[in-house]
Each structure stands twice: as C-alpha cells, then as structure tokens.
Structure 1
Amino acid sequence: MKTYRIAAIPGDGIGIEVVEAGLQVLAALAERDGDFTLDVERFDWGSERYKRTGALMPKDGADQLRAFDAIFFGAVGAPDVPDHLTLWGLRLAICQPLDQFANVRPTRILPGITSPLRGVDEGDLDWVIVRENSEGEYAGQGGRSHRGLPQEVATEVSIFTRAGIERIMRYAFEVARSRPRKLLTVVTKSNAQRYGMVLWDEIAREVAADFPDVTWDKMLVDAMTVRMTLHPKSLDTIVATNLHADILSDLAAALAGSIGVAPTGNINPTGRAPSMFEPIHGSAFDITGKGIANPIATFWTASMMLEHLGQPHTAATLMRAIERVTADPALHTPDLGGTARTDDVTRAVIDAVRGRND
C-alpha cells in the first residue's frame, strides 16, 4: 500500500476551514479505495504566526517541505497584515524555492452552477489556464529610493528569461496536446511591452514548431478579456505571464459561476520538489468563522493533487462526487446563491464518495 506524505498548511481565514474539510474528504477517499494512505502533517504557518514571531514560516520552511509528496495549502492574508508581507512571506516563499514554475488553473461550469454569461452552459466554457509562476512581474526585482521625499521612486522590474519562457511554453503546449481540442492561446501585451512580451511571442513560435498537432493563436491581454466574455467556446488552453494569468484566471472563475469553486496547482513538473495545491479564493476574512465558505474549490484542488500523486481513479471519483453535489441547488453555499453551509457540502461529498460503486 502506498503512503503519501502531505504537508497541510491551512494558513489564514477560511483557509483553515476549507483545508480541514478537504482533509476529511481525502480521508474518506483513502478509506474507500484502500490502496493508499495519507500521512498528513499540519503546519501553523500564516499571519497568526507572523504576529507572534515576526515570520509567517521558519527560514528553512521551504526545505522542510521537500520531504513531502505534496503540499495542501489553504490561503494567506489577514486584514491587519500588509498583503505584500503575507504573499512574499508564505506562498511565494514556498513556490519560488521549490521551483513550482507552472501554475495550473482549470475552469469549467460545474453541473448546477449558472454562469453570469447569457446562453453559456456546461461545455461552453472549459478551459485550463497555465500561468508562468516563477518570474515576470512577480520575480521580486525592484526597490524604493528617496522614501518620503517628493522625488521618491519605486521600481518593479519584470524579469523574462529565455529558459523561463521556454519551459512554461512547452508545458502549456503539452497540456494543450493532452486535451481533446488540442488548442492553445498565448496571451501577451507585446504591442506595448516591446522587450519581454516580444520575447514571449518569439519563443511561442519556436516552441510551436515542435507541436504540429496543436493549433495555437495569440491574443493581447486586453482583447483576451473580451474574447473570454463574448466567445468562451473559442478557447481551451491558455498560457500567460505571472501577472496576466493571475488576473485572467480570476475572471475565468467568475465567468464559471464563482471563485469559490476554482482550484489551482503550483506544479514542479520535474518532480525534484513537491508541488502545492490550493483553492484560489483567498482568506476571505469577511466570512471567516461563519461556516459558509464554499469548500468545492478545495475538493477540486484535492482531486488535482490526487491526479498528480498518481491516483487518477480516485481523482476521478472525487470529481464525480463534486459534480453530483453541485448539481443539487440545496447544497449551494451563499456565493452560489444558496444557503448551504461548509459542513453540509462536506458531508454531501463524503456521502457521494462512500456511496458510489465504480
């Protein structure tokens, strides 16, 4: 029997609630299938730790995580701690040292969920957004000078390397090739950003030559928002920079019905370090402690993690259970217009997992 070591980092806000719900579902799946177990270790890293110690995680935190098969992450961010401190102190402090350079965000309209787009149903919006996750606008290069003076200046330098662009482009083409439509859209802003974004365009063309079976096109990021909204069926796999994909994936989640159902994986495709899986909804302190957070994004994230760990059958079982639950409006949380609570949805998914015979 295979045992997977999972590092659970609930983090902040509703992250604590949904990670616990996710671990309950994962335990039910392991019990059901019987061919693997999960060895879960919880870490109290987050804003509360920052307030106590001055650091969101230990200095060797990323190295501690190397011993695990995967990382199950909740959210980071608190109203009384500046966002740049929490992001760079935890999430990016894990992603960058572990070289999780591919952020993968699947988006589709789940059964029972209504898109805000007119006339768009299940099957009309089914995307995978591949986000470059190690450089670009979030490389951490820049600084501030002459603080407090009229001539104060701040710089934020976007770093684009041939190696970084090529590896994410190849990853995105592989993802596109694995999907039925074999269609990739490359998103840049090369009309205005004439160096880094033009390099993206050039490398996209170079890499495309190695994937003759993949149809690809190119969009400017501003035009892409229009295409996503007015012509969602024209898209399938999308690749973009760290910043552009961060923004587009939140738009994608909203177009699919709710950010509360949107998962993501921070992937190290080489396997030389663990990958990290998280819902994208953030810590949502406005609903923290109310018991109404939507755990579906976390369950979908758990399915992605199981697939990554080499358990595709169990991952598919979980997705079918998720779809069975979202199809029932009585099990919709407030973000979906319903009145169900986190525990209601969690119990329903566990029941669906245990009751399915396949």
Structure 2
Amino acid sequence: MQPVCCRQPIGPMCCEVVKWWPRELVQNYWLVPTCSTPSSLVDMTQLLQNIIDGLGRGSIYALLALGVAVVFGIMHLLNFAHGELITIPGYLTYWAFNHGWNWWTVVPLILVSAVGSSLLIERIAFSRVRGAKDFTMLLTSFGVHFIVSALFLLYVSASVKSIQRPGWAADTVALGSLRIEIFDLLVIGVTIVTLLATTWLLQRTMFGLSLRAAASDFEAARLMGVNSDSVIRGAFALSGFLAGIAGIFWLMRAGSVTPTAGIDPMLKGVLAALIGGLGSLRGAVVGGLVLGLAEVLLRAWLPEGIQNLTTGFVFVLIALLFIFKPGGLLAVPQVERV
C-alpha cells in the first residue's frame, strides 16, 4: 500500500486517517493521491524568504548609508550627491562591457572610479564651502547632483544603457523549503566583511583615530595636530569606497544606467542614515537593514492593487518613526558623532 491523502480534508486529521488506504480503493472514489503543504508552513516559509530578500536589499542600503554617515560625521554635510558615485561608475561599466570587459575586470574599475569621483567632487565643490553654513553645503551637494546628471544627459544620452548581468545572479540554492538567491547571499556576506573591515579601520588605525577625533570635535582635533585636509579627504575616499561596493551590487541588480540613476540610491542611503541616526555608523547599518526589510515585507503584505504604493507606505512609517524618535533609532549626541 502507498500513502495517499484526500484532495479536500475532512477535518484536521483527514490525511492521517486515509494515508494508508489502498491506492486502488482511493482511486475508485472521490479521493486522489495528492497532499498539500499546511498553510501555516507555507506562510512561515514565505516570511523567511521575504526576510532574506529584505536583508539582501537592506545590506546595499546599509553600505550607502554608511558612506553618508562618514561624511556627515566630519563635515555635517548630508551629501545628496552621493548617488553620483554609482552613476559615474555605471557609465564606465557600460563603456567597459562594450569594449570586451567582464565582471572580474569591471569590479576594480567600479571601486577605483567611485573613490576617484568622491575625491574629485570634494576637491572641486565641497572644499570651497568648508566652514560655510550647513544649508550652503546642502545646496552645493544638490548642485553637484544636477550638474553630473545634466552632463551625462547632454554629452552621452538620455536613453537607458544596458549593463550585462552576471549569469549566476539569478541562481538559487535550496535550504529546506527556502529558495535563496546566490546574489542575496553574496551581498549579505560581502556587507558583513566590509562592516568588520570598516570597524577595524576606525578602531585600530591612526586614520580611524583621527577621523573619530575630528568627528567628535573638529577644532580640538586640529589643535592637537590632526591634519584637517587629510581627514576630510580620507572620509570622502572611505565614503566613495563604500559606495563603490554598494554600486557593484546595485548595477548587477539594475542591469542598466541612466543620467538620473543616482537618485534612487542617494535617497535610499540618506533615508537609511536618517532612520538610524545621522552620524551613527551603527545606526546607518541598522537603518539600511530596516529600510530594506520594510520595502520587501510591505510589498509582500500589501494587496496587489496597491503594491505600487509601497514607497509611499514606507515614507509614512518613516514619518511615524521621526515623531517618536526624532533623532533616529540610534541617535548620538553631536560630541560622539562617528
């Protein structure tokens, strides 16, 4: 005898009652040999699947927010030009693939171009407004964003430029009933390694000590011999490197670049930094993960007719958060920033 189940359960124990009936007897009546997974197990599996997806997405946001937080800690600058550190490498990636490059050679290009772009933007734009009011620096960052977008629009093209996705990005591995994308596992793993390396850099090196001292009290740090120019350039280089790592995965997932491609990553990075608490590196990481989880879970739970309003619901939740926690989840006093 082979185990079978009924198509429509008669009470909660239906399958247990009939599973040892002879197959011939079952097939002669309305019973058929099909079993279904309990809905509670399906719901839990789907929840775990969404959480993993959210952590993968949130890890990218965390890297972006970390770069925003590093610069804010030094200059009190909420850098709205941060997204251009993905746009510029994105167009270089498009050029590289058109000239026969592959992802193994493109990854270093993205990292180097992101760091170089960050240092160039600091040199051309932000170095000229040091010591200015926060609002002036904020407007400067907006200006950089619009200028970079306009240059690509005028001298490249307004059309979408496709970028080759790696063939393995959509592959999955099975973990029980879960199907986990290799891409998400790689993003989460690389983010963990990057966060550990950044923590070591800030806690165990002279550069990190200078950075934290300048963030705590910039003038006092200068009086104690900290080179302000070197610290600021180092902060922008670190911010660019973190944006470059995030940009690798962002471009892999997006598969395209446009002149305005930096808007979305810029918004996600700034929002995540605000959620966690401006100037807090731990807060930036937490904010990125919270934002990623909120997006994925809301999209999964909202009815199909309003799933396109997910971003709006996320903003509502963020607004509610700021009502009860104006400084973010892990707000720090200014003297302890970064």
TM-score, length basis structure 1: 0.27
Larger Rg: 2
Greater percentage in strand: 1
Q: Which has the higher helix share?
A: 2
TM-score, structure 2 normalization: 0.28
